[in-house]
Chain A
Amino acid sequence: MQWETVIGLEIHVQLATKTKIFSGASTAFGATPNTQACAVDLGLPGILPVVNEEAINMAIKFGLGIDAEINKVNVFERKNYFYPDLPKGYQTTQLEKPIVGAGHVDITLADGSTKSIRIHHAHLEEDAGKSLHEDFHGMSGIDLNRAGTPLIEIVTEPDIRNAEEAVAFAKKLHSIVTTLGICDGDMSQGSMRFDVNVSVRPKGQKEFGTRTETKNLNSFKFMEAAILKEVERQIDLIEDGGTVIQETRLYNGDTGEARSMRSKEEANDYRYFPCPDLLPVIIDDSCLEKLQAEMPEMPDAKKARFIADFGLSDYDAEILSADQATANYFEAATRASDDAKLSANWIMGELSKSLNQNSISITESPVTADMLGGLIKRIKDNTISGKIAKEVFEVLWQGECSTADEVIEKKGLKQVTDTGAIEAMIDEVLASNAQQVENYRAAPDDKRGKMIGFFVGQCMKASKGKANPGMVNQILKQKLDG
């Protein structure tokens, strides 16, 4: 039987505000437990929440970024349930009137095709605290620093058909929220958390199968692995005559194991009602116009511009436009080097290799865009070869010098382009390899191309890599072919 997978995602995105959604406590990550949890976050009696304007603005920007309708009348509701990391006994969230209505996010797949994933809506809500289950004499420890951190929960339509599309969507969403500057995008710190709804159905069937929900996946890799595993589990189950039950599942990224969460004794009954502590938030046209004017260039537009203005390939443009920091670096390096293609190659090659090896982000790179641009300039004007350039890059990376010119000067790496000097060196190489010269001259034309590589190698070695390889090739040919 041919199976089709149907996937819908719910994504919690922590907004990059300085303070909580309903209180003036800081949202900075990594603080000592409970030092950023004030009376409002703790839900003490007599408190009154006041909405953070910036959280509203950031949610609106997200809506504008995905071509969505913005709801002008916003109502906050109470979602009632009991859990120790939610001391109020309810989560303040939105239900009937979410701030962001229907929109779409377009993804590009590995084969170059594109697909539009519909967004059902996105609503504003508050994050909960954290429970630490390590042993505190048989008790749990609660840290409420995260309680009240503003979130938008983004809900997709069930438009995703496999793990590859889900990952492409997640990466695109990451690119959108970081470009907008509404989220720091740091998934290891829980800034974006994915819930994955998965079901399978026989290919061609219209009705959806029963779905399961795997919660709180905080890396693209874990999300992909969790989907692949769950799809396989459901298909095996059905083919063995079983049925999928609707349940919440947990996936452990470290062990690669998935399991059912202990099923709740009774179905959720959140008894939503409008929060009496909060008045409706009205978004007026002047606010929308102001935010529209502040919108940065979105990744799709940026990609199109990189292709049109810089002549980049679709693939290069996709990678370089994906996050704001990389795009900025690329544009700055291109300004400094006046060569977009070489800049793109170096950023996606040497630079990203070094960044990965050292696990640092592009904004922390010891080689700045200006430094890389200066280096590329010297490749372009033939001061150094591409091979020497890698050496120069390494020196810049180690922080020994601050410009490529300084490295070239200090280490004497300037390429030899003096014809006389190159000729003299070639003569020497030919003289000390008389047998190979004889072999070469005896060889038929079609074999010679390969054989000349030996001489080029010897010359480059003799010059310690500094001879201009193009000139070496040309002069060698003249001398050997007579």
Chain B
Amino acid sequence: MAIDASGVKKVAHLARLSIDDDAVEATAATISSILELVDRMQAVDTQGVEPLAHPLDAIQRLRPDEVTEENQREQLQSCAPAVEEGLFLVPRVIE
């Protein structure tokens, strides 16, 4: 499996990454080589093997339902570019 220039642009857009136009071809080639490796792995017979959800052979610890985080708004908003009336301000979004 390979990826072409338009595929790279689409994936970059979905991930909100900007790629210079003159870097697109080279990126396509790099990603394609990774996909080649994936193709080789795909060829392995995995019949009867449980899909791996996490590389650590451990299970999730659960947390009791108790409030441990108090209001830290002032601190957390200190790094926000714009706030008003306690709200984070962002470029206008319309659905």
The number of chain A residues touching the other chain, given as a range, is 35 or more
Say whether A3 faces chain B, with CB atoms less than 8 Å apart.
no
Please classify the interface of chain B as helix (H, G, I), strand (E, B), loop, or mixed, using the class held by over half of its residues.
loop
Contact in complex: B64, A53 (CB < 8 Å): yes
Other contacts beyond A139-B91, A278-B60, A279-B56: 11, CB < 8 A? A19-B66, A24-B66, A35-B86, A36-B71, A80-B14, A139-B92, A140-B89, A141-B87, A271-B14, A279-B53, A280-B60
Give A50 to B59 CA distance when docked, in angstroms.
Answer: 12
For B91, the chain A residues whose CB sits under 8 A away are: 139-140
Contact in complex: A274, B53 (CB < 8 Å): yes
Please, what's the 1-or-0 string for A1-40, where 1 marks a CB less than 8 Å from any CB in chain B?
0000000000000000111000111100000111111111
Q: Residue of B at shortest CB range from A15? A: B65
Contact in complex: B85, A280 (CB < 8 Å): no
Contact in complex: B62, A51 (CB < 8 Å): yes
Contact in complex: B84, A136 (CB < 8 Å): yes
For A32, the chain B residues whose CB sits under 8 A away are: 86
Q: Known contacts A39-B76, A133-B92; is A24 also within 8 Å of B86 by CB? A: no
For B59, the chain A residues whose CB sits under 8 A away are: 279-282
Q: Known contacts A82-B16, A133-B94; is A34 also within 8 Å of B88 by CB? A: yes
Please, what's the 1-or-0 string for B44-59, where 1 marks a CB less than 8 Å from any CB in chain A?
0000000101101011
For A53, the chain B residues whose CB sits under 8 A away are: 62-65
Give A371 to B61 CA distance when docked, in angstroms.
Answer: 48
A371: shortest Cβ distance to chain B, in Å? 35
Contact among B16, B68, B84 with A141 in the assembled complex (CB-CB below 8 Å): B84
Contact among A82, A269, A279 with B60 in the assembled complex (CB-CB below 8 Å): A279
Contact in complex: B53, A83 (CB < 8 Å): no
Question: Residue among B59, B66, B77, B88 with the most chain A CB within 10 A?
Answer: B88
Contact among A44, A262, A278 with B95 in the assembled complex (CB-CB below 8 Å): A262
Contact in complex: B72, A52 (CB < 8 Å): no
Contact in complex: A281, B89 (CB < 8 Å): no
Say whether B82 faces chain A, with CB atoms less than 8 Å apart.
yes
For A250, the chain B residues whose CB sits under 8 A away are: 95
